[in-house]
Structure 1
Amino acid sequence: MTFLRELMDTHSNERFTAFLREKAAEAKRELRYDPRQFLSMLGAEGGYSTVAKLVGGKNPSDGFVKLWESGRLDLSVEALVLETEWIRFFDEQLLKVAERKLKGAGYRYVRYVAAESSERLPAVVLKKATPEYIWRSVQLFQSGDVSHAFGSSTKYDLIDENGDRFAPKAVFGVALSMALDGATIEPKHFSGDEASLCFALLRDAGYQIVPKDFDSPSTDPASMPEQEWMEGDRKLVSHLRRERSPGLAKAKKAQFRRLHGKLTCERCKLDPVAVFGTEHAEACIEVHHSTTHVGQMGPQHKTMLDDVQCLCANCHRLVHRLLREEDKVHAHED
């Protein structure tokens, strides 16, 4: 039986699984090799269990042999465990098996060694970069009016609601600096990779972190839910797209919690946690763009956190109904 060097929780395992899927896609794209069995195992068991079974097996897997024949053992799970930041989740016994297989195949691997620094900030400090500060940081990068000590990203990009790309570690560093009242934050203070808390917090704030060669996701409003609100009014579609930006919504909620201690409806004052008796009831609170009417929103309109408000689902739906009726009246008058 093997044991984890560091506990791989569900969220980490999901990210590890996604990482392995990306490598499988690379093998298919570059080698015309479709690792169907591997992908099936990932879907059924997740990344950690799949790797433990394949690496821990007595003999090299069929996929290992295929990659050896193609001269791409760097894409084998053995190499991906040994040569990346994910090594910290696997015990030495399993790593030795991976090394033995790679050595036997003539592959020269280099064990991943994380850069250790006594100046690394603890997790409790990093978590002060809430979605509110991360959103504010993204706004600064969008404006181009930002200074920081971080270089350009070499492997990953953060994608904002407009599809623009920024260096994830730089965005997080600026956010953390704001959260710590302007303290100087440098690259040495935290790591930025797939297994890092930095990436986890950026994703929790509503932003995608993707490899540089990954195509930007579609921002087509037709892919959004609640189609009934989108028929016949392009400005209303724009309004909804702004509201449904995960970064904006999470930032507003984080700001509201910081200022008021909990999430409540700004219209009817509903306190969902008190009513339903569970913190999960916070899902009842949504974010609505309130200060600028959609008819007055230009294409370059910039939404600030004070432009949106927290509403319960009932009030939010009512406000949108009133908004739609108001637009009908204006259209009739025109």
Structure 2
Amino acid sequence: MSEEQNQQLQNKLHKDLIEAAKTAKSIGYNPTKFNQMIATEGGYKIAKKLIHSPTTSTGFEKLWELNRLDLSTEAVLLREEFRPLFTKEELEIAKTRLGEFGYEIEDISSALPPLKPSGREREFKGYEDHLKAKVIFEYLVNGLTHRELDERVLGLDMSKSKGLQSMNILHFLGMKADYKGIFKGEVLKEVISIFTEEGKDFDQSVRLLKLLDDDDLKNTINSDLEAEQVEEGHRLEGNIKYYYGKRYERDSDNRRLAIKKHGLNCYACGFNFEQVYGERGKDFIEVHHIKPLSTFKKAVEINPEKDLVPLCANCHRMVHRKKDKVLSIEELKEILLKQKE
């Protein structure tokens, strides 16, 4: 559901709540305070507030006495058309509250088609997580065909692959044809939110899609890189001067993917900057090339999972302290263990 559609649905809910209040007045209950609240904050916000209130409202009890709980906010928001506006938990609260007063609501089922996992994991395991995440997103939101996904996302010749690689990735997760374009026009965060609410069956998809939801981490990394460039004299009087090696080692996408894969704890000593420095250290860690950049004769493609590991500043410096003897992570770990003996 797009933002525009969401707003239209909120407007419809607002109008329906006002109509319910008018009907209530016509049968003997005038919800004056409720009308004032709606006029001030809007029907959607008031519905949210009432749902999260620990007790039933006076109006709810009055409508129960009049045998018209169908006019309650809980009953209105549980109408099929308004359910997308609320979380599964909120809908369950409304259903339970009505049920306790003898007003039954049909089962609240998922609006998404059931997943039908294929169990075939060869193709799924054959691609890096960030590529699988892009396949999922482009299929759900932009409605690309399997052949288009193979070509545009996986970089394959779709006339030869025939879309089988992307199809098998999606089918492993249980996403068949009824998921194609199901979230057309939606933003990534909304897709993740919906899948999260649906429960553990979507955990794998949520984990992958979160790899694309990295705005905060990207901003943090770019800020870190800029600070390092200034510190090392790579930015003088506003003119950016890049050194090939540094730029390559600190490519922000490679660093982001390495952090997403390996986490923010130092691979050698376990140090975590946020645990020690609080907010100042959030999302910070240095990233180390397992194979020294100085050994590269030409540009090569970096695999963030296999070629990069997170190291704290101390361990990173110790690894590189002697230019003719760069330590492996295992060698550094052995040094640390000996010092603890």
**TM value normalised by structure 2:** 0.38
Query: Which has more helix, going by share of residues?
Result: 2
Q: Report which structure shows greater RCO (CA 8 Å, sep ≥6).
A: 1
Larger radius of gyration: 2
